[in-house]
Amino acid sequence: MALKHQKHLFDLPEHVTYLNIASQSPAFNSIHQAGLEGLMQKRKPYLITGSDYFEPVKTLKSLFANLIKASDYNRIALIPSASYGIATVTNNIVLKPTDEILIIDQQFPSNYYSWKKLADKYQAKIRVIKAPNQSNDIGKQWNLDIINAINSNTAVVTMGHIHWSNGTLFDLKSIQQKIKQHNSLFIIDGSQSIGALPFSVKELQPDALICAGYKWLFGPYGCGYAYFGKAFDNGNPIEENWINRLDSHDFSELTNYKQQYRPLANRYCAGESAAFLNVKMQIAALQQILDWTPEAIQEYCKNISLEAVQQLKALGFTIENNEYRSHHLFGIKLPKNLDINTVKNALAKQNIYVSYRGNYIRLSCHVYNTAKDFKTLISTFSTLINHN
């Protein structure tokens, strides 16, 4: 059965058109309630037990593992940000001067700075695969360019499932097959896709998947997730905290310091990642996403936006063809006769919330949106064009 809109679960005013979840997600009712429960727990700390530091975290990791089709929740680490996860990855990679780190043109800064620092440390090379200079089928050619760029010098390929600013869809399966031929590391930034686009660790076999939690995963700002594969089983975390050490659940033995970490990705969890309020909200969020399913969310976003995409193209906007982009997030380029500042002012007056990223206006929708939201957007653009 097709997913129907879920506006009743959110507290978004009727006069607001929110097409900007790619920047910050709104909370739905069960997340709000979970946050209140977390606040109540803080008000009565004498009721907090040792298991409260571990059991909810186990539940949360299991939910995320389920979402990405990972078989072991111990391969999931809780992190405060995507940049923390990327820094953890680069902290465990040694390069040669002849090595190349392959990145995508105009990646989000959190998936660039650590790689640049790593390359500089070892005098290695950052190789940027630029977007093709064409108006349509950019994704098709871009994917070919990425695959062709992977060679015997490629030590790492680091990229998103989609491009964060325009929704270009990357063929991770084909890219992974080429990576495997050269024994390169495959690091995926899932911040703009996990939760809204189907993803399988079993199928794509990344060495690490890093994901901010406050966008498509509806978590509070300051939370995130990381999956670490076998390449990082014995790595070094970027911080040392008590909870990541073996037998840390036994509070009476904490000062009998242990050299061993808890197994697999547990060593990479950030300090205080068991934060009660955050974890409760994250659990509620992931439970709901798993109930909706990423497949149904993607299909819903496609259904409510397809007609609007056709209308935008008719008005002169440039949008990637459907098969080479995501439907929950996509970028539109303005017609040449429209001034970006005029557009910003017009959308603000109509309480239409979008993002402006590089050369694109980025539209991002979810199950609280309907086709009516896009009609409001089209109406505003049509007025601007007619008055130009």
Q: What is the full DSSP assignment across 358-388?
A: TTEEEEE--TT--HHHHHHHHHHHHHHHHT-
CATH class of 37-291: alpha beta
**Can you give the pLDDT at residue 343?**
93
17 three-state secondary structure: strand
Residue-wise pLDDT tens digits, 15-55: 999 999 999 999 999 999 999 999 999 899 998 999 999 99
C-alpha span between 43 and 72 (Å, rounded): 34
Residue-wise pLDDT tens digits, 112-131: 999 999 999 999 999 999 99
Q: Where are the domains of the chain?
A: 7-19+294-386, 37-291
Q: Is the pLDDT of residue 358 over 80?
A: no
What is the rounded average pLDDT for all residues in the chain? 95
Closest to 110 measured CA to CA, from 167, 170, 190, 179: 190
- Report the pLDDT averaged over residues 303-316: 95
- Report the pLDDT averaged over residues 367-384: 95
Cα dihedral sign, 381-106-285-275 = negative
Provide, rounded to the nearest whole percent, the portion of the chain with pLDDT above 70.
99
Which band of pLDDT confidence, cut at 50, 70 and 90, is reported for residue 88? very high
Q: Is the pLDDT of residue 309 over 80?
A: yes
Which band of pLDDT confidence, cut at 50, 70 and 90, is reported for residue 388? low
C-alpha span between 386 and 105 (Å, rounded): 35
**Can you give the pLDDT at residue 163?**
95
128 three-state secondary structure: strand
Residue-wise pLDDT tens digits, 194-228: 999 999 999 999 999 999 999 999 999 999 999 99
Residue 131 identity (one-letter amino acid): A
C-alpha span between 337 and 316 (Å, rounded): 10
pTM above 0.85, yes or no: yes
Q: Is the pLDDT of residue 136 over 80?
A: no
Question: What are the tokens at 358?
Answer: 């590089």
Which band of pLDDT confidence, cut at 50, 70 and 90, is reported for residue 359? confident
**Least confident stretch, 89-98, 168-177, 179-188, 358-367:** 358-367
Contact criterion met (CB below 8 Å) for 261 and 272: no
Dihedrals phi, psi of 362, to nearest 5 degrees? -95, 125
Closest to 89 measured CA to CA, from 177, 151, 158, 149: 158
Residue written as tokens 């790689």? Answer: 115
Which band of pLDDT confidence, cut at 50, 70 and 90, is reported for residue 345? very high
Q: Tell me, rounded to whole angstroms, the distance of Cα 156 from its chain centroid.
A: 19
CATH number, domain 7-19+294-386, options 3.40.50.300, 3.90.1150.10, 2.40.160.100, 3.30.1490.110: 3.90.1150.10
Q: Is the pLDDT of residue 387 over 80?
A: no
Q: Is the pLDDT of residue 291 over 80?
A: yes
